[in-house]
Amino acid sequence: MKAVVVHGASDVRVDELDLPSVNPGEVRVAVEWGGICGSDVSYYAHAASGTATLKHPLILGHEIAGRVSAVGAGVPSDLVGVPVAVHPSTPIGELADRLAGRDNLNTQVRYLGSAAFDPHTDGGFAEAVVVRTDQLRPLPDGVSTRHGALAEPLAVAMHAVSRVPVAGRDVLVNGAGPIGCLVVAALKLAGAAAVTVADVADAPLAMATALGADKTVNVRTGEGLPSDAELVFEASGVPAALGAVLRATARGGTLVQVGNLPGTATPAVLGDLVTREITWIGSYRFADEITDAVRALGEGLDLEPLISASYDLADAPAALERARAGGGGKVMLRIGAA
């Protein structure tokens, strides 16, 4: 089978690999679509993502959907042909009782397409991937595998929105990248009143509007962040923006950090966190919100405006370069779809 393998910084190849075998309780999925995440870009650009450093070649990708093509012993054969999204997480560590239901906070979690452990956990940017049956999320009628591959990042956004009550509230979202735009969609699904989105470029702001934003602000053109926002979602992951975002948060307000911050020391202006008594909440991946994400897609949530480009599997290096260049939206890989 063909797979997208990162060998080092700026060294991504489409390699020919053996088809993975299927063990009892597992299925093989013929992957049709994959979405490129910031972590995939980071492995491509730096041979690392956060604190995870590449030690061996790694198949990239954790935002995937396809069709079950083979089943292992003990798995019903009628799963063959079923279109599915895939939950990429395998918790292997201990979960404290107080964290029941929050598997994303497990002390150790293997994730598709991650170098956090050695040996690494290969991902799903391949013509076939083997997963456990409990990782499958069957796609409802009318939901394509192209859109099913967006269930994983949508789950990240839905988890962030679940961290605080949002129904009926006005919200500011800083950053209109893929996660920021999906936070907008998740906020509207959860009943937020008015959603304002800030970014430094018009193209991603247009995507945010298409996904439900009520107002957009381009902070690069001179208009600053709105002031006294009671509830803010920081989705850019840019440390230099934190000072302005904290200043935009109302006294006694809440800031949800969903944008992934660097794992190394980085200067940031944080004084307002104390003097304005702001509640700063982290949000990491998701627990089982991917089930809610698939349901939302089945109920008609249209994420097509988020997709900025699609590339064939053979053009994966160009796709990663496109995602690295930015410009907004989700870059998709057509892996096995007709």
- The pLDDT, as a whole number, for residue 302 is 97
- The pLDDT, as a whole number, for residue 263 is 77
pLDDT digits (tens, 9 = 90+) for 254-300: 999 999 888 778 888 999 999 999 999 999 999 999 999 999 999 99
pLDDT digits (tens, 9 = 90+) for 300-309: 999 999 999 9
Burial label, 240 (beta-carbon count in 10 A; 0-12, 13-18, 19+): exposed
* Separation CA 62–CA 64 (nearest Å): 6
- The pLDDT, as a whole number, for residue 51 is 86
pLDDT digits (tens, 9 = 90+) for 239-254: 999 999 999 999 999 9
What angle (nearest 5°) sits at the alpha carbon of residue 135, between those of residues 84 and 295? 50
**Band of the pLDDT at 327, cuts 50, 70, 90?**
confident
Alpha helices (H) in 31-95, listed in sequence order? 38-46
* Separation CA 83–CA 89 (nearest Å): 19
Q: Are strands 52-53 and 171-174 parallel, antiparallel or unpaired?
A: unpaired
Torsion of CA 182, 34, 284, 308, to 10 degrees: -30
Q: Say if residue 338's pLDDT is above 70.
A: no
Give the lowest-confidence range in 23-37, 89-103, 236-250.
Answer: 89-103
- The pLDDT, as a whole number, for residue 262 is 81
* Separation CA 74–CA 125 (nearest Å): 26
Closest CA to 38 of 302, 237, 254: 237
**Band of the pLDDT at 171, cuts 50, 70, 90?**
very high
Closest CA to 71 of 135, 31, 134, 25: 25
- The pLDDT, as a whole number, for residue 157 is 98
Going along the chain from its start, the domains and CATH numbers come out as 2-153+286-334 (3.90.180.10), 164-282 (3.40.50.720)
pLDDT digits (tens, 9 = 90+) for 267-277: 889 999 999 99
Q: Say if residue 118's pLDDT is above 70.
A: yes
- The pLDDT, as a whole number, for residue 331 is 98
* Separation CA 314–CA 284 (nearest Å): 32
**Band of the pLDDT at 165, cuts 50, 70, 90?**
very high
Chain centroid, CA 219 distance in Å: 24
**Mean pLDDT over each residue of the chain, to the nearest integer:** 96
**Band of the pLDDT at 326, cuts 50, 70, 90?**
confident
